[in-house]
Structure 1
Amino acid sequence: MSALVPLGPGIWYLPGAVNSVVVENGEGGALLIDTGLDDAHARKLLRAVESAGLSPSAILNTHSHADHHGGNAFILKKSPELTVYAPPLEAAVINHPMLEPLMLFGASPPPELRTKFLLAPASPAQPIPPGRQILGGVELDLIPVPGHAVDMYAVQLGEVLYVADALFGLEALAKHPLTFCSDSAAQKVSAAGLMELSSVGVILPGHGDPTVDLPGLVGANLTAYERITAAVLATVQQHSGSVDDLLSRVSVRMGVRTGSPAAAVLNRAVVSAHLTELQAQKQVQCVTEHHRLVFRISP
């Protein structure tokens, strides 16, 4: 059975494919931050919380990707009185999870895109604004870090900073060269902006191990994000084409293996985001050719 790992006084995390954070409220309860992909992760999380002598007091989802809120439903079956909080736009997706594969596919998604990796069970999330909040008896700071998701929060708990998916651990960056984002320009601004936070001791990414080296982690992520932009630009310089044309070439250039339809639409979104960033910089343009959207180098 997985055990909670301490991050600071009254603050733990459950390691996993996605990390879950557990914060004691001083009254025997604990705020759960991100509940993982599915029932299996949620079950481990509840057992670990119980073993620590705590019970859930509320749930906070930093964003609406299925691997961060897929465990909500299992936890709410056990404790239906719990309130689920999320950033406003992300709360809408958590309440209506079909929005995620619908957005990625652009139409009613086929069965291959309705798996747990893109379509989590619905849960009744309430929108919560950024800033200082008290959730489940825990005082914390919610910091907007859009880019990976449209409306994501990082969470600061004193000297502990849970950055969610604003920053990735080094292994995750290496494993996923096309690091997911909805807005690559905002992703870079959010990552760099985390350097302005003061009194940060321990940093925990949503995917990866905790670290005390915030500058190093930010630098590694910015380098990875810029590498994707450069690869997309170099590909367009060699071959104009549709997003799917460019995705195929970028994937080969970066050594990406696409093993499933879900991975394909996620990677397609990444290339699309970086194309939009390059278009805003007037380096590429979007035109229609032979009934297709085509991206090419700006004249």
Structure 2
Amino acid sequence: MSLLPLGSQVFYFASAVNSLVVENGCGGALLVDTGLDDAHARKLLREVEARGLVPAAILNTHSHADHHGGNAFILKKFPGLPVSAPPLEAAIIHFPVLEPLSLFGALPPHELQTKFLLAPASPAQPIGAGPQTLGGAAVELLSVPGHAAQMYAVRVGDVLYAADGLFGSESLQKHPLTFCADSAAQKASAAALAGLSGVRVVLPGHGDPTPDLPGLARLNLQAYERTTAAVMDAVQQGAATVDELLARVCTGLNVTMTNAGAVVLNRAVVSAHLTEGLTAGWARLEVQENRLLFART
């Protein structure tokens, strides 16, 4: 797959997770999100070099392994290349065991030390939102927390890379329990992106580019609300632990989990929507017989 144009000096490398490439006008390029692993990074570099460009910097929009797993391969080829990320996410990219550790609640067992949850470490530096120049490329970083604790969307003129602030329709259908660390913030970020003006094309982190930013945001908000409704329904069936509620939610959404990684990821989604419920007042937390339970108010 070659680099596909999105705008003047802005391209993307289409894959299971998209990478954005922004030319700096001097033969260099900012690479935004490097994919899951060496295979993605190798193909990305090949296409960048085919355009006569040299990587000038890396930006990771957030710390999930599929967005920074290619960093290590690229840094072997280009030692000293600056890597930037949102502050909290930069810490996780530098110490990637924090991702499965946060999901499991303890040092992760072997089953959770896969490339999908534990990427190689890279020395990311924290960077703030707003206008930035990275590797000579001028971009605007928009704060869109929710899917991750911190995350940036990237705007270059009339091109918006939403990262995982928005998902393509196929991805939403494939993953009914869309991952989030904060479901309320996830909804607020999608609504904020929908309100941006002057965006000609939007590229989600997973999916195809589209000119219909409001329509894409609407699909995402509908999917997030479906998950909230499924969690509310699960709680309505009676007080239960998070794991018991997860099983109810999966039944309601026709989701089948077959590995430990899927369980801890989906468990986190249910937990996020329960936290939203506690704040909104439709759920309450209680302790009974040494069990942490959630129930409807």
**Where do residues 269-284 of structure 1 align in structure 2 (5 Å cutoff)?**
269-284=268-283
Following superposition, the deviation at residue 196 of structure 1 comes to: 2.4
Superposition RMSD in Å: 0.6
Q: Percent identity?
A: 65
Q: What residue number does 2:242 align with?
A: 243
Q: What residue number does 1:135 align with?
A: 134
- CA distance, structure 2, for counterparts of residue 95 and residue 119 of structure 1: 11
Following superposition, the deviation at residue 198 of structure 1 comes to: 1.8
Q: What residue number does 1:8 align with?
A: 7
Q: Structure 1 residue 123 and structure 2 residue 122: aligned?
A: yes
Moved over 2 A (4+): none
**Residue 101 of structure 2 aligns to a residue in which SS?**
helix
- CA distance, structure 2, for counterparts of residue 198 and residue 126 of structure 1: 30
Q: What residue number does 1:68 align with?
A: 67
Contact 2:195–2:214 at 8 Å: present in 1 too?
Answer: no
Following superposition, the deviation at residue 192 of structure 1 comes to: 0.1
**Residue 177 of structure 2 aligns to a residue in which SS?**
coil
- CA distance, structure 1, for counterparts of residue 279 and residue 196 of structure 2: 28
- CA distance, structure 1, for counterparts of residue 252 and residue 121 of structure 2: 37
Letter in 1 for 2:151: M
Give the TM-score, by structure 2 length: 0.99
Q: What residue number does 1:44 align with?
A: 43
1:43-96 alpha-carbon deviations (Å, 9 max, x no partner) = 000001011111100000000000000000000000012000000010000000
Q: What residue number does 1:103 align with?
A: 102
**Residue 295 of structure 1 aligns to a residue in which SS?**
strand
1:203-230 alpha-carbon deviations (Å, 9 max, x no partner) = 0000000000011101000000000000
Letter in 1 for 2:157: G
Letter in 2 for 1:83: P
Q: Structure 1 residue 166 and structure 2 residue 165: aligned?
A: yes
Letter in 2 for 1:154: A
Q: What residue number does 2:143 align with?
A: 144
Letter in 2 for 1:89: L
Deviates more, 1:29-38 or 1:257-266: 257-266
1:5-27 alpha-carbon deviations (Å, 9 max, x no partner) = 11111111010010001111000
Q: What residue number does 1:293 align with?
A: 292
- CA distance, structure 2, for counterparts of residue 176 and residue 289 of structure 1: 33
- CA distance, structure 2, for counterparts of residue 145 and residue 272 of structure 1: 20
Q: What residue number does 1:35 align with?
A: 34
What runs of 5+ residues in structure 2 fail to find an aligned partner?
none
Q: What residue number does 2:174 align with?
A: 175
Deviates more, 1:194-203 or 1:9-18: 194-203
Following superposition, the deviation at residue 289 of structure 1 comes to: 1.3
**Where do residues 177-192 of structure 1 align in structure 2 (5 Å cutoff)?**
177-192=176-191
Following superposition, the deviation at residue 201 of structure 1 comes to: 0.5
- CA distance, structure 1, for counterparts of residue 199 and residue 70 of structure 2: 28
Q: What residue number does 2:152 align with?
A: 153
- CA distance, structure 1, for counterparts of residue 136 and residue 150 of structure 2: 24
Contact 2:238–2:296 at 8 Å: present in 1 too?
Answer: no
Following superposition, the deviation at residue 290 of structure 1 comes to: 1.4
Q: What residue number does 2:196 align with?
A: 197
Q: What residue number does 1:90 align with?
A: 89
Q: What residue number does 1:79 align with?
A: 78
**Residue 57 of structure 1 aligns to a residue in which SS?**
strand
- CA distance, structure 2, for counterparts of residue 23 and residue 153 of structure 1: 16
Q: What residue number does 1:230 align with?
A: 229
Following superposition, the deviation at residue 279 of structure 1 comes to: 0.8
- CA distance, structure 2, for counterparts of residue 43 and residue 203 of structure 1: 25
Following superposition, the deviation at residue 292 of structure 1 comes to: 1.1
Following superposition, the deviation at residue 257 of structure 1 comes to: 1.7
- CA distance, structure 1, for counterparts of residue 151 and residue 246 of structure 2: 25
**Residue 264 of structure 2 aligns to a residue in which SS?**
helix
Contact 2:241–2:294 at 8 Å: present in 1 too?
Answer: yes
Q: What residue number does 1:256 align with?
A: 255
Number of equivalent positions: 297
Letter in 1 for 2:201: V
